[in-house]
Amino acid sequence: MEPEQPAQRFGAHPAALTASAPGRVNLIGEHTDYTGGLVLPMAIPFQTNVEIAHAADGMYTFHSAQFQESRVMPPSDQSPAAGNWSDYSVGVLRELQALGVRPEPFYLTVDGNVPLGSGLSSSASIEVATAMALLQHTGKHLPIPEIALLCQRAENVYVHSPCGIMDQFAITAATAGHALLLNTRDLTYQLLPMNTGELAGCVVVVVNSMVRHTVTAGSEYAQRRRELEAGQQVLRERFGVRDLGEATVEQLLACAGAMSAESLKRCRHVITENGRVREAAEAMTAGDAKRLGELMTAAHASERDDFECSVEEVDFLVDTAVQQAGCFGARLTGGGFGGCTVNLLLAGEADRFTAAIRQAYQERYGITAQTFVCEAAAGAVERAATAGSDVTAGTDVAAGRADQL
C-alpha cells in the first residue's frame, strides 16, 4: 500500500473567515503528557479569535490586535522564529505547508483574552485558532487528533518549546460542561461531566499569581523534561516499558541506582501523578468533590517536591486556598515556574474565597492576583460546529473506557 499523500488527507469545504479557540486549565495530570500518561483538563471561557481574509498583495500577513504588530512574508518565506507571538501562528502555517497545503495569500488577525504566560495555554489557543482559520481559508479539513498534533509540532519544531499534546488536544476537542480524560499515548479520551453528585454544587476558580513563566527550550521546563526522559530510558531498558505511562513505582525504585537523583524524582512525580489522575476520574464519575480536591492538593505537593516546578508565590496561594472554607483542593496548573493555581470549591463560597485569596496575597507579596470563576467551555471544534462551520472530518475520536485508561 502506497503512503498516503498530503492531498489525500484533506477534503474541500467552503472557506470561512473566523475561528475561535479557548484557553484551558488542567484539573490534574501535570507533566505526564509527553511520556504516554494521563491528563484531565477542561477548556475555559477565555478565547483567541482569528479573522482571515484573502490578500491582494500576494503576501502572508499575521497581525496581533493585542500588540498592534504585524509580520509580513511571501509564501516562499522560510525565515526562523522571530521570538514573539507570531511564531505560534507561523509555526502552524509551516506544518500545513509540510503537509502539502499552500494557502492563497491572506491577512490574518489574532486577538483574544487568554492571559499570557499564566499556564492557561495562550500559545496553544493561538495555534489551534490559527489552524482552524487556515483550514477554512484553504477549504481543507483534518480530524481532531491531526489538528492537535499539527499544532503541537508547530510549537515543538518552529517555536522550539518541548510541550506535550495536552494543551492542543484539549483546546481542540473539549466539550462544554465536561472535563476531558485523555490518554496521551494513543489520544483516546473520555468526557466527564462536571455536574454530578457534589460536583454539581462546585465551581473551579483560577488564581493567576501574576508570576510569568516562559516554557522554552532553554528553560527549567526543558531541563526537567530531559531529566524525566533520561529516567524513562532507564526503565525502558530494564523492564521493556514503552514509557512512564505504563511504569510502576516498584519498577522505578528498582532502577534508582541507575539514574540521577533528579531523574528519580521527576519519574516518581509522573508515575504517581498518573495514579492520581485515574483516581480523580473515578471521583468525578462518583461526584466526590472531597476526594477530587484531596488528589489535586496531593498533586501540587508532588509538583513542588518531586518535579520542583513550583515557586514560592504559587505555594503560598495553594496553602492559603486549602485553609479557606468550602475549598476542597488546590494545585499549580500548567508548566509551572509561576502561572496559575486551580481551585475546587463550593459555588456559594466563591466570592468570599476570591476576596480572601487576593487580600492575603497582596499583604504577603504586594501583588494583586487575578481570579476567575470558570465553567467548562466548548473546544474549538464544538465552537465551529455551533457556528455552522464544517472544518474537520472524522471529528469523533474513539473514546477510551475508564478501565482502558
What is the spatial distance between Cα 173 and Cα 280, in angstroms, rounded to a whole number?
20
Could you tell me which of 398, 399, 381 has the C-alpha nearest to residue 390? Answer: 381
Residue 247 lies in a domain: yes
Check if 167 is active-site.
yes
Res 20 pLDDT > 60 = yes
pLDDT beyond 70 at 4: no
Residue that wins the pLDDT comparison between 205 and 5: 205
Number of domains in the chain: 2
In a domain, 7, yes or no: no
Q: Shortest CA distance to 135 belongs to which of 125, 147, 121, 123?
A: 147
Q: How confident is the model at residue 387 (pLDDT cuts 50, 70, 90)?
A: confident
Catalytic residue, chosen from 167, 243, 288, 306, is 167
Q: Rounded to whole angstroms, what are the CA distances from 149 to 124, 167, 185, 363? A: 11, 10, 12, 43
Query: Sorting pLDDT into bands at 50, 70 and 90, what band is 119?
Result: confident
Read off the pLDDT band of 221 (50, 70, 90): confident
Q: What confidence tens digit (pLDDT) does each residue in 284-318 have? A: 999 999 999 999 999 999 999 999 999 999 999 99
- Same domain? 291 vs 213: yes
Are residues 151 and 223 both part of a single domain?
A: no
Residue 304 sits in the same domain as residue 335: yes
Average of per-residue pLDDT across 21-47: 95
Kindly state the average pLDDT of the residues 236-257: 97
Least confident of 208-217, 289-298, 389-398: 389-398
Looking at every residue in the chain, the average pLDDT score rounds to 90
Is there a single domain that holds both residue 202 and residue 115?
no
Q: Are residues 22 and 148 in the same domain?
A: yes
Task: Tell me whether residue 42 is in a domain.
Answer: yes
In the structure, what pLDDT confidence band is assigned to residue 116 with cuts at 50, 70 and 90? Answer: confident
Q: What is the dihedral of CA 234, 235, 240, 244, to 10 degrees?
A: -130
257-276 pLDDT, tens per residue? 999 999 999 999 999 999 99
Q: What is the mean pLDDT of residues 221-239?
A: 95
Where residue 88 sits, what CATH number does that domain have?
A: 3.30.230.10
Report the C-alpha gap between 378 and 173 in whole angstroms: 8
Q: Are residues 146 and 288 in the same domain?
A: no
User: Do 167 and 255 fall within a single domain?
Assistant: no
Answer whether residue 402 is part of any domain.
no
Q: Are residues 213 and 246 in the same domain?
A: yes
**pLDDT band of 121, cuts 50, 70, 90:** confident
Helix, strand, or coil here: 154? helix
Q: Which helix (H) or strand (E) holds 371?
A: strand 370-374
Do 266 and 141 fall into the same domain? no
Query: Could you tell me if residue 2 is inside a domain?
Result: no
Q: Choose among 39, 59, 108, 116: nearest CA to 85.
A: 116
Output the domain CATH number for residue 269: 3.30.70.890
User: Distance between the two ends of the chain, CA-based, in angstroms?
Assistant: 32
**pLDDT given at position 200:** 95
- Cell digits for 219? 528553560
Whether residues 173 and 75 share a domain: the answer is: yes
| pLDDT given at position 214 | 59
Please state, in angstroms and rounded to a whole number, the distance separating the CA atoms of residues 158 and 182: 25
Q: Do 52 and 175 belong together in one domain? A: yes
φ and ψ at residue 192, rounded to 5 degrees: -115, 120
pLDDT cut 90: percent of the chain above it: 83
Task: Give mean pLDDT, residues 9-37.
Answer: 80
On the question of pLDDT at 399 being above 60, the answer is no
pLDDT tens for residues 73-82? 999 999 999 9
d(CA 405, CA 155): 26
- Predicted confidence band of residue 165 (pLDDT cuts 50, 70, 90): very high
| 243 vs 184: CA distance, rounded Å | 11
| pLDDT on residue 389 | 61
pLDDT value at residue 14: 39
In Å, what is the CA distance from 193 to each residue of 49, 77, 263, 287?
Answer: 26, 45, 35, 9
Cβ proximity of 245 and 37 under 8 Å: yes
What pLDDT sits at residue 212?
Answer: 80
Look at residue 403 and tell me if it is in a domain: no
Residue 5 lies in a domain: no
Report if residue 391 sits inside a domain. yes
387 & 353 share domain:
no
- Could you tell me the residue range of the domain that residue 27 belongs to? 12-191+379-397
Residue 115 — pLDDT band, cuts 50, 70, 90? confident
Task: Read off the pTM.
Answer: 0.88
